Structure 1
Amino acid sequence: MRRIRAFFYERGFSEVETPIRVKTPCMELHIDAEPSGDHFLRTSPEMFHKRLLAHGHEKIFEVGKCFRSGERGPLHHPEYTMIEWYRAQTDYLGILEDTKALIATVWESCSTDWKLIAVSEAFLEHAGWDPAGNYDEDRFDIDLVEKVEPALKAIGGPVVLIDYPVEAAALSRRKPGNPLLAERWELYIDGIELANAYSELTDPAEQRLRFEKCAEHRKALGAAVYPIDEAFLQALETMPPSGGVALGVDRLLMLISGAPSLDQVLPFR
């Protein structure tokens, strides 16, 4: 944790602390928030961070607890520690360079040979179809877990799965020149997903439509539908072009220590 904080301080980031109990959790299709009285425990500080960017902060980070309801397994826990950071006037590729440098700082033996593989390329090779422009949510999720992620594990080391179908990137901007894709990447190390990054969507009208579509889908699935955060949408009107990422500290510790599951690094929960 000292190395993580020193990494950001040395690069001129401001450390922020945002609410853990929230009225409006971020609306994502398969992420459920844990109720806390008439509020919810946050699944991410993302929307507060973007509001800070809109108010003039340029480089911010937060290390803190996040929560997700109903998640329990070797790689999932309902309470976990997340690092999120955001930079104005950059994109997902700039954030990728930050991530490479951070991993090298806290895990010196980690390979520096990072492989970038487009989502379309990975799915064509390992699942036999291209989800861009032909998106099928159920098929995408199943093939990602059963076919693509095992292939990434076989490659070994850090692999970045990049340029997702826009339907699979609810808070990411579209890729210039190819509106079927979104500027999103996920980092896998030895097949374990560690970080998720975007070039941030700053169009409040498009973001509202995505939230409304997600709400309809969650309702159809019988999942809770959360209120739309109007303050967040208002902030997007003045938010500069930015990039941001969320990285799981517990999974990083698991990988560094060679532990087989999160239970070995989260023994008190």
Structure 2
Amino acid sequence: MTDTPSPWWAPHRHADRRPRLMLRNRIAAGLRAHLAARDFVEVEAACLQVSPGNAAHLSAFATEAIGTDGARAPLYLHTSPEFACKTLLAAGEARLFSFGHVFRNRERGPLHHPEFTMLEWYRRAEPYEVLMSDCADMLRLAAQTAGIARLTHRGRTCDPFAACARLTLAAAFARHAGIDLLATVAADGATDRDGLAAAVRGTGLRVAPDDTWADLFSRVLAARIEPHLGQGRPTILYEYPVSEAALARPSPADPRVCERFELYACGVELANAFGELTDPAEQHRRFEAEMAEKQRVYGERYPIDADFLAALAAMPEASGCALGFDRLVMLATGAPHIEDVIWTPVAGGSA
């Protein structure tokens, strides 16, 4: 005898899981119809890419292409359809969305799965604040489809029909950690690691000698701020420091911050949105910095997609958002684990 739970495909377990999975299908259909009704075109982004993305702490699945002559070339499963979607904006699409699987290595847990479903949508020549309304609409749609009044996760609740609270990173750090975050960010985006370290020590959190400013920022965010977000009503956390901009453009109102926000409900991050950077030189500089950090931490780096950077030069102003669809279904069904709402989880997890 063993205490190991039966696999997800055991008939009695599948019967327990099936109501959530069928609701997943209905929510997906509703989101597709919602976007189509607003003139968004669904596109299919190829999973195989020259570069999987260039974020320092995202790990990809690597593979290779074998030509008819036996020549081999490295390829990766994408961590996001972002590069492909932006090239389609450069090609002339005005409103588009991608609803498909993405792949991230080194990630597995109650909120993470190595293969998951991401909904990304883009608006050409529209400000990123519009995406905040989009996110609110999608929360309401998921709740309506599920026939619920509250999103729930591990004892936390959130009213998806309530107006989203909006909180800047600076205000969140001041309110929940007592830290003046922007005092450690210069007008040119340079960060004061030692200044932030001193402030973090004052909160009682650990500071290691090799911690970077970004490490400390992430530690405070995870430990002191995220647990408070999306409680009672959804929270939009916006105006990230420009050093955390990724592919977002700087704010015209304050060069220390960028046009980026994240959506939270029940303490869970659901979406990440940008006013898109369209400067290929600046984007290349950021990619190089991210890959240098990846090399330092993980001893590896990924190629930089020259074709994407060339397309970026032709890309119009736009805004875009990525939403973790599985997490949304979790909150709509009250599921405690992401594998509860995935039809066929990858072997080796908790299911």
**2:73 is equivalent to residue 35 of structure 1:** no
The percent identity for this pair of structures is 41
- CA deviation map 1:182-208 (0-9, x unaligned): 100000001100000000000111101
What's the secondary structure of 1:81's corresponding residue? Answer: strand
The CA RMSD measured in Å over matched residues stands at: 1.3
Distance, in Å, in 2 between the alignment partners of 1:132 and 1:191 is 24
- CA deviation map 1:122-145 (0-9, x unaligned): 011112223335142111111111
Q: Which residue of 1 aligns with 2:308?
A: 232
Structure whose CA Rg is larger: 2
Normalised by the length of structure 1, the TM-score is 0.96
Structure 2's unaligned 5+ residue stretches are 1-27, 65-73, 150-159, 185-190, 192-212, 346-351
What's the secondary structure of 1:185's corresponding residue? Answer: strand
- CA deviation map 1:157-212 (0-9, x unaligned): 21010110011121000000211101000000011000000000001111011111
Match of 1:145 among 222, 230, 247: 222
After TM superposition, list the pairs within 5 Å mapping 1:17-166 onto structure 2.
17-37=44-64, 38-108=74-144, 109=149, 110-132=160-182, 134=184, 135=191, 136-152=213-229, 155-166=231-242
Distance, in Å, in 1 between the alignment partners of 2:99 and 2:343 is 20
Q: Which residue of 2 aligns with 1:268?
A: 344
What's the secondary structure of 2:255's corresponding residue? Answer: strand
Tell me the number of residue pairs that the alignment of Structure 1 and Structure 2 aligns: 268
**Which structure is higher in strand share?**
1
CA contact (8 A) 2:278 2:313 kept: yes
Q: Which residue of 1 aligns with 2:202?
A: none
Deviation of the 1:117 alpha carbon: 0.4
Tell me which stretches of 4 or more aligned residues in structure 1 moved more than 4 Å: none
The AA in structure 2 aligned to 1:174 is P
Distance, in Å, in 2 between the alignment partners of 1:99 and 1:150 is 20
The AA in structure 1 aligned to 2:50 is K
Distance, in Å, in 2 between the alignment partners of 1:106 and 1:150 is 22
Deviation of the 1:42 alpha carbon: 0.7
CA contact (8 A) 1:91 1:243 kept: yes
The AA in structure 2 aligned to 1:229 is D
Normalised by the length of structure 2, the TM-score is 0.74
Structure 1's unaligned 5+ residue stretches are none
